[in-house]
Structure 1
Amino acid sequence: MDHLKNGLPLTEAGQDIVLDARTIPHAVRHGAVLGAVDQLKPGMSMVLVAPHDPLPLLEQMRERFGDRVGVDYESKQPQEVRVRLTKTAP
């Protein structure tokens, strides 16, 4: 079921939380994604759907969270990149 949760376009598919960043205005996209990752509890993950390879965002995430968030690409398509972000520690 698609819905807005805390103002973010989140879909819960089974146990997966999916955040479709393509629907978030570009000016606030990175902040919204970083805030969503910050809310994950250790052991939780979410799938980020981005319109391109989110390398600048992943660098910001590395600077902010260090090795406390795992990054695993699930798919790379021209208009859709899916990345699983897993919180490994508080």
Structure 2
Amino acid sequence: MRSVTELNLTAKSACGCGAAHEQLPELDARTIPHAVRHAAIFGVVDGLQPGAAFILIAPHDPLPLLGQIAERHGGDIAVEYVQRGPEAWKLKLTHA
């Protein structure tokens, strides 16, 4: 099993919009092999403590993944789009 470091969870957030955002770890899903991508993201989401958050960077709008997260966690995970394409979608996922 890969560690958080190997999953490219980094301790910075830079959406490029120019606005000030709190410093959150980022998980760049584009670097995770497709066959294990959702499982790796579930591992990070499942490990979030209440009040914790991270930025997910995806190669496309991850609507199917968000549906799966909602099925697993109900309303416990809030999702906020930080950037919508064209090269990457950045979402802030927060454990309520």
Instruction: Verify same fold: TM over 0.5.
Output: yes
Separation in structure 2 between the aligned mates of residue 32 and residue 5 of structure 1, nearest angstrom: 9
Structure 1 unaligned blocks of 5 or more: none
Percent identity between matched residues is 49
Q: Residue in 2 aligned with 1:16?
A: 24
Find the aligned partners of 1:61 and 1:82 in 2 and give their Cα distance: 16
- 1:83 and 1:15 map into 2 onto residues whose CA distance is 14
Q: Given the two structures, how large is their TM-score scaled by the length of structure 2?
A: 0.83
Q: Kindly provide the CA deviation profile for residues 42-89 of structure 1, in whole angstroms up to 9, marking residues without a partner as x.
A: 00000000000000000000000000000000011122000000001x
Q: Which residue of 2 aligns with 1:57?
A: 65
Over 4 Å off, 4+ runs: none
Mapping for residues 9-88 of structure 1, pairs under 5 Å = 9-13=8-12, 15-88=23-96
User: Could you say which structure has the higher strand fraction?
Assistant: 1
Give the corresponding residue for 2:17. none
Q: Which moved more, 1:20-29 or 1:7-16?
A: 7-16
RMSD: 1.4
> With structure 1 as the length reference, what TM-score do the two structures score?
0.88
